[in-house]
Each structure stands twice: as structure tokens, then as C-alpha cells.
Structure 1
Amino acid sequence: MKKRVIIKEIQPEAYRAMNALEKYLHKSSVSAGLKELIKIRASQLNGCAYCLEIHTRDARKNGETEQRLYALSAWWESPLFSEREKAVLDFTDRLTLTRGKGIPDGIYGSLENWFNEKEMAEIIMQIITINAWNRIAVSTHLR
């Protein structure tokens, strides 16, 4: 495999900015378990093996079960996820794979049923941030 740019070395200020956003989100009111589900699901959709390895390990440390981790790729069919989690996972899927279509009102409304505005903003930022990390890792073959 051909060597690729190492953003952390070439653009350290950009990397520090990403890390600052990650640190901010670490302190958000959204539970650690839900954050990891968001990170894993977006990483599945983006094909980011590096992030999948990190976030499945972190999810296990937070008490996530193997059964739920295996079912996450078909969350909509699984009885293992609550309606609240499904609302977040559906939103994660739609925002990750938006393809210029936006988020339908029904998907947004489902999230509103479970979360207040502050939590919704944190969830949106969590999805955006993991998508950015995924794209960094995939484009540079981060190891």
C-alpha cells in the first residue's frame, strides 16, 4: 500500500481542532453508550475499519454487549434496541448518507420525541464529528 499523508503531522492545527471538538463532545449530556452506538453505526456505513475497532472496544468497556454490537448493522429489525436508540440510529443513518436529500421531517420528529434541543444539537454534532473522523481515516488509511 502506498504511503499516504499523515494529517496529524502535516496539519497539526487542523488535527488539534478535531481533537478539541471531540473533547467538547465527550462532556456532552448524551450518554457514553449512545455516543458509541452513533460512532459505530456511522463507521459501519463509511467502511472505516480503524474507527470500528476503536469504538467497538470503547463500547465494550462501557458495558455494551456483543449481541447488540453484532445486531447494530440491522438495528431497525432488532428488538435489542429501544425506540429511543432507534430514533438516534435512524438519524445517524440519514445524516451520514444524506446524499443531498436532507433529513425528512418524520425522522427529525422522531428524534424530537426523545431528546431536548440541547441533546439534539449534541447528537447532530456527534454524527458530524465521527463522519469527519471516518473520512480522515479512510482517505489516509489511518492505522
Structure 2
Amino acid sequence: MQKRIDISGLQTKAIEAMMGLENYVSGSELPATLKELIKLRASMINNCAYCIQMHTPVAQQSGITVQRLMALAAWQESPLFSDVECAVLAMTDEMTLIADQGLPEATYNRCIELLGETATAQCMMQIVTINAWNRIAISTKMEHAS
């Protein structure tokens, strides 16, 4: 693989700003398992190997089983995810693929119903943040050390 620019070395203020966003979502009141499901699902959709490799062990440490990690690729067909997780995964899919149909009212309303406005907003920001990290990692061809 051809070496590409190191944004963290060239654009330190931009990465500091991204880290501010990362610190915000990391400190949100969402359960760690929900945060990791969002990160992994968006990274799967975006084909971001770097982020998948980074977040898989973290997801396991947060209590997500290997079976659920494997089922995440087909979450819509799996009985292993709660109603809240399914609503958030639907929002993750739709926001990650935002150009396809936007965020449909049904998905948005389901998240508000199950999570409330604050947690829905926190989920949205988690989705936005991981998508930004995916785009940095993919376009600079970052490789995970493991």
C-alpha cells in the first residue's frame, strides 16, 4: 500500500478539534455497548478496517459478545439486539448512508420514543464522529498496528 499523508502530523489543530468531539461523545451518558455498536456498524458500512480493528476489542471489553459482533453485519435479521439497539443501528445505517434517503421520520421518531431527545442527539453525534474518523482513516490508508 502506498504511503499517504499523516493528517495528525500535518493538521494538528484539526485533529485536536476532532479529539474534542471524540472526548464529548466518549463522555456522553450513552452505554458503552451502544457507543461501540454505533462505531462498529458505521465502520462496517464504510469498509474502514482500521476502525473495525480498533473498536472490536473495545466492544468486547464493554461486554459485547463475539456472537453479537458477528451478527452486527445482519442486525436487521438478528434476534440478538434490543429494540433500542435496533433503533440506533437503523439510525446509524441511515445517517452513514445519508445520501440514499436521509434520516426517515420513522427512524427518527422511533429513536426519540425509545431514547428521548438527549440520548438521540448523543447517538447522532456518535454517528457523525465515527463517520468522520472513518473518512480520515480510509482516505489516508491508515493501518492498525494489530
TM-score interval, smaller chain: over 0.9
Amino acid at match of 2:101: K
1:40 corresponds to: 40
Amino acid at match of 2:119: E
Shift of 1:101: 2.6
Shifted more, 88-97 versus 19-28: the winner is 19-28
Shift of 1:138: 0.3
Q: CA RMSD in A?
A: 0.8
Runs (4+) of structure 1 exceeding 3 A deviation are: none
TM-score calculated relative to the size of structure 1: 0.97
Shift of 1:116: 1.4
Amino acid at match of 1:81: F
Query: Deviation per CA, 1:32-89, whole angstroms, max 9, x where unpaired?
Result: 1100000000000000000001111100111110000000000010000011100000
Shift of 1:25: 0.9
Query: Deviation per CA, 1:85-142, whole angstroms, max 9, x where unpaired?
Result: 0000000000000116311111111111211111111100000000000000000011
Shifted more, 94-103 versus 72-81: the winner is 94-103
Counterpart Cα distance in 2 of 1:134 and 1:25: 15
TM-score calculated relative to the size of structure 2: 0.95
1:1-143 alignment runs, 5 A limit: 1-99=1-99, 101-143=101-143
Query: Deviation per CA, 1:6-35, whole angstroms, max 9, x where unpaired?
Result: 000000000111111101111101111100
Counterpart Cα distance in 1 of 2:137 and 2:85: 26
Look up the SS of the partner of 1:80 in the other structure: coil
Counterpart Cα distance in 2 of 1:29 and 1:62: 14
Any gaps of 5 or more consecutive residues in structure 2?
none
Amino acid at match of 1:18: M
Matched length:
143
